[in-house]
Amino acid sequence: MKRFSRPFVAVAVAVMALSAHAAAGHPGLETDVPLPPPPAGTPTTPYPTGDPAVVGQWDRPFPLPVQAEAAAVLPTGKVLLFITNSSPSLWDPATGATKTVPLDDELSINCAGVAFLPDGRLLVNGGHQGDTPWKGHRGTFAFDPWTETWARLADMHEGRYYPGTIALADGRALTVNGNDDQGVDPGTTEIFDGASWAAPVAAPPMEFYPRMHVLPSGDVVRVGQDAEAAFFDPVAGSWRAGPRSSSGMRWGGISVILPGLDRVLVAGGSNFGLSSEGHGQVPALRDGPDRIADNGVAAASDGPNGATAAAEILDLSGGQAAYRSAAPMHLPRRDFAGVALADGDVLVLGGAAGVEPVPGWGDYSFHPELFDSESESWKLMAPAERTRGYHSTGLLLPDGRVLFAGGDFEQTRDTTAAPLTNTGEIYSPPYLFRGPRPLIAAAPRAVSYGERFLVRSSGAPVRGAALVRLGSATHSLNTDQRWVGLDAQVAGGAVHLHAPATGAIAPPGYYMLFLLSDAGVPSVSSIVKVG
């Protein structure tokens, strides 16, 4: 059993021949990777699915009332999906029922920041300012999961379009950069205390939607999309420079903080994108193709604009931050989802190989990949049915499955017909096919930091437990998600657990509590308020 040794738009069209990528020496891709669209009338080849205990299993796509540009798993277990004010919707994974919960306000939440407040409300700040390209507004909203209603909160000091927003260790929320109401990067940071936004402080230049994570020190690290890492001290209110990635910019790449909270996985992306450092007027090409590692066919076909399969680890162990190379993904991807799973591994879903958005399914990565957070290696999983790239989202559900939804150019694997939009797909990871699941018979609804608490279980014997923070995702970004392992003492059906010591380990808010068997099979979670 692993892991319990640690404490718990200018756009272009580009189509890449993935069969050539397979032939370039990437193992296991010769027969199970989507090929470019065949000539009209050519029969399609069935896609092998394999053993679900090895590659997982997909349910068929199902309709959703809205494109899931942004999505969040709420403390009620329902999922909020939205792209604009008129049709935010709730989807209930337990029943499949949907409900529209529109926001009646003149300010748009399209391309806003999202993060959870400690009381379970979803903070949504900034967004697109009317019909004006690249300009953000100052509005702030919160969605209450229990009343299922929206509320307007205090305005920010700066307009923000494509901002990065994250919950801090003390329960406040930080928002960074984006484009202001003049269409330029304000170069500032603001902090929300639940009632008002503090005066802005200076921030270094950043790409849109900065990828950020709270560290055990309480500091925030910005990592992944920008070439240079940076650290923010919420007490001092200041930023300091960090190391530079060998791959340069990773526009549309992902970053996920790994178990132990001293490593951050960064993967995929492109060195070409819509840049707030270019003041949102034109795409900014900052790093040459020599700075993108392992682009493979993407580099040959798209030059510096293609996606990369390269991955790195920002290693924070030993008190020093340094990037080191990690095994590359099997497929190049940009504008994809990275999901922290119930067992601490990471699932990446979708994305495109070239410049996004791209119509036509030959450019998309249908196959998810599973990153083993202990061995730091990748495995290809069973293919999804629909293309999902830019404006798609992936989230871990309370039952251990994964919702994959949205995307601007949904098409099935066997057609290039008109897009079929607004669906979701459910993926069951391999761990759900590896034996019986533990069952949570009783668990507390809330725990305090450092508290020892009891969970009653039945079903499969329990080996360990973890808290996974409820996710809120948009534009390949999910600053809320994190996997926190718990010290566990098990005696029959009694599982004694020790809550995280501080908010720097688990920022205050709602988490999915999973019990895990010897085989790493998770229970259905119990949603618990921490802190």
List phi, psi (to 5°) of 92.
Answer: -100, 110
In the chain, the amino acid numbered 280 is: G
pLDDT at 417 (0 to 100): 59
Under 8 Å between Cβ of 513 and 499: no
Instruction: Compute the mean pLDDT over every residue in the chain, rounded to the nearest whole number.
Output: 84
At 91-147, the pLDDT tens digits run 999 999 999 999 999 999 999 999 999 999 999 999 998 776 689 999 999 999 999
Question: Which has more pLDDT, 434 or 276?
Answer: 434
Q: How far apart are CA 341 and CA 396, in angstroms?
A: 6
Residue 137 to residue 158: CA distance in whole angstroms: 7
Predicted confidence (pLDDT) per residue in 342-356, tens digit = 999 999 999 988 765
- pLDDT, position 251: 85
Q: Is residue 199 exposed (0-12), middle (13-18) or buried (19+ Cβ within 10 Å)?
A: exposed
pLDDT at 304 over 80: no
Cα gap 8→386, rounded to integer Å: 35
Of the ranges 50-59, 409-418, 487-496, which one carries the lowest mean pLDDT score? 409-418
Contact assessment for residue 68 and residue 350, using Cβ atoms and an 8 Å cutoff = no
Two tokens, residue 237? 């209110």
With a cut of 70, say whether residue 274 has pLDDT above it.
no
- Residue 319 confidence (pLDDT): 80
Whole-number pLDDT of residue 114: 98
Q: Tell me if the pTM is above 0.85.
A: yes
Q: Kindly state the tokens that stand for 299.
A: 């580099």
> Strands 446-447 and 526-530, how do they pair?
parallel
The confidence score (pLDDT) of residue 49 equals 61
User: Would you state the structure tokens that stand for residue 259, as one six-digit string?
Assistant: 């178990």
Lowest mean pLDDT across 19-33, 246-260, 515-529: 19-33
* Tens-digit pLDDT profile for residues 383-408: 898 888 889 999 999 999 999 999 88
CA-to-CA distance for 133 and 161, rounded, in angstroms? 10
List, for residues 146-162, the tens digit of each pLDDT value. 999 999 999 999 999 99
Q: What is the pLDDT of residues 446-482, one digit of tens each?
A: 999 999 999 999 999 999 999 999 999 999 999 999 9
Q: How far apart are the first and last CA of the chain?
A: 29
With 50 as the cut, is the pLDDT of residue 17 above it?
no
Q: What is the token pair recorded at 351?
A: 């994305």
Cα dihedral sign, 136-137-143-147: negative
